[in-house]
């Protein structure tokens, strides 16, 4: 029943379906808790202790503590939820989108000002999403 889906070949995209829903529930419910100011304060003060309240896997915990935004999606994070961690950090959607797509904020913002990421070459296959070219690692 779960099997492969006709959207699995959309590159660079993590559809929050039943497979990810089963994987990511605890992670996303942790993010949901950040809607409360007192929880945000506690998470900021002692991230590890706050995360102990939720049944995260070690990889989910690592991804949260290291702010590995793409890694969170790979272990069941839902962007509508994980973005709440970014809000807690004072980051915006554009900051996180740049990090997930592997470019600097400036590069990402300029891409959006130029009309966004083109659908050309980015609709099929696992390895597209190229423009703009990722910056060289330092």
Partner 1 sequence: MARIVAGIACSHVPAIGVAMDKGTTETAYWRPLFAGYEPARDWLAKLKPDVAIVVYNDHASALSLEIIPTFLIGVAAEFPIADEGFGPRPVPIVEGQPELAWHLAESLILDEFDMTIANEMPVDHGLTVPLSITCGQTDRWPFPVIPICVNVVQYPPPTGARCYKLGQAIRRAVESFDQDLRVVIYGTGGMSHQLQGERAGLINRRFDTAFLDGLTGDPVALSKIPHTDYMREAGSEGVELVMWHVMRGALNDEAREVYRHYHVPASNTAAALMILDNEGTA
- Interacting residues toward partner 1 by CB under 8 A: 6-7, 10-18, 21, 25, 28-29, 31-32, 34-37, 40, 70, 73, 78-81, 83-84, 87-88, 92-94, 97-98, 100-102, 108, 111-113, 115-119, 122-124, 128-129
**CB of residue 81 to partner 1, shortest distance in Å:** 5
CA angle 91/96/98 to nearest 5° reads 125
Report DSSP state, residue 132. S
Report DSSP state, residue 6. T
Phi, psi (deg, nearest 5) at residue 3: 35, -160
d(CA 61, CA 65): 6
Q: Which residues contact 136 (CB under 8 A, 6 or more apart)?
A: none
**CB of residue 67 to partner 1, shortest distance in Å:** 15
**CB of residue 66 to partner 1, shortest distance in Å:** 18
> Cα 80 to the chain's mean position, in Å?
9
**CB of residue 56 to partner 1, shortest distance in Å:** 14
**CB of residue 22 to partner 1, shortest distance in Å:** 11
d(CA 113, CA 106): 10
Nearer to partner 1, 48 or 94 (CB): 94
């Amino acid at each position: 029943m779960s099997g492969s889906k006709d959207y699995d070949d959309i590159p660079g995209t993590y559809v929050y379906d039943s497979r990810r829903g089963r994987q990511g529930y605890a992670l996303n419910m942790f993010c949901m808790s950040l809607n409360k100011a007192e929880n945000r304060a506690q998470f900021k003060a002692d991230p590890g202790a706050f995360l102990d309240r939720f049944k995260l896997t070690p990889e989910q915990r690592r991804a949260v503590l290291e702010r590995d935004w793409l890694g969170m999606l790979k272990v069941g994070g839902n962007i509508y939820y994980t973005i709440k961690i970014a809000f807690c950090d004072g980051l915006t959607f554009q900051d996180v989108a740049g990090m997930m797509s592997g470019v600097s904020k400036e590069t990402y913002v300029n891409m959006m000002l130029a009309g966004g990421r083109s659908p050309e070459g980015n609709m099929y296959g696992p390895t597209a999403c190229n423009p703009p070219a990722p910056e060289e690692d330092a």
